[in-house]
Amino acid sequence: MSEHFTTLQEIFHYKLGSALTMEHDSLDLLDVLEHAAMRSDLKEHFNEHAAETRGQIENLHNCFVLLSEEPKRVPSPTTKGLVKEAKSAIGKTDDMLVDAVVLGAALEAEHYETGVYESLLVLAKASGATGIAELLNQNLEQEKAAIEQIKAAADRIARTDAEEQESRVEESHAEDGAGAVPTPAVKVPRFMPPGSI
C-alpha cells in the first residue's frame, strides 16, 4: 500500500526515515569512493567522512527518540541511484583520472544530502521541534563543510591532472618525432574557476 500523508508530521517522519536510509547509503558510497581513490589523502578524507556519517546516523536515531518513535528507514531511491552511478562512472574511467570522478560523485551526493537536511530543518522548525532542529543542523553543517573540502580537493586535482595530461601529450609528440605540439586554432583554457564565466 502506498503512503498517503495527511499531516506535516507524517511527512516529517517519512523524510526523517528517508534521511536515515540516505546516510546508510552514504556509508556504502564512501566505501566505494575510498577503495576507488588513487590518492592517499582522498582515501583518508572518505574514511574520516564515513566516521562523521556514523555520527550523523546517531543524530537521526536521536531525532526519533525525541519523537518517541522507533527509528524507521524508508526508501531513498536517489541515494541508491547516486551509488550506482558512481560505480558505473568509476568502472569506465582510467586509473589516472579516477580521482576526478570520485570527487564528482562525492560532491553530487553531498549536495543532495544538504538539500535533504535543509528541507527537514524547515519542517522541524515549523513544528517547534528545537531539539530535533539542533541535531539536524549539526548534520547539515558537517555536510556543508564536506562540500567545501571536496571542492578544494577537486580544484587542486583537476589542475594537477590537466598539467600531467598536457605533459604526456607533449612527450608523446616528441617521441613520435612530430616536434612541437601544434597550437589549436581556438585556445581553450585548461581550467576556469567557478563564477568566471
Q: Where are the alpha helices (DSSP H) in 37-129?
A: 40-66, 77-91, 98-126
d(C-alpha 25, C-alpha 18), whole Å: 10
How many other CB atoms sit within 10 Å of the CB of residue 162? 14
| pLDDT of the residue at 159 | 87
Q: Is the per-residue pLDDT at 113 higher than 90?
A: yes
Q: Is the per-residue pLDDT at 147 higher than 50?
A: yes
pTM of the model: 0.83
Q: Return the closest-CA partner of residue 101 out of 111, 86, 80, 113.
A: 86
DSSP assignment string, 122-160: HHHHHTT-HHHHHHHHHHHHHHHHHHHHHHHHHHHHHHH
Q: Is the per-residue pLDDT at 2 higher than 70?
A: no
Q: Is the per-residue pLDDT at 15 higher than 80?
A: yes
B/e letters for 171-180, b = 16+ CB within 10 Å, e = fewer, are eeeeeeeeee
pLDDT in tens, 30-67: 999 999 999 999 999 999 999 999 999 999 999 999 99
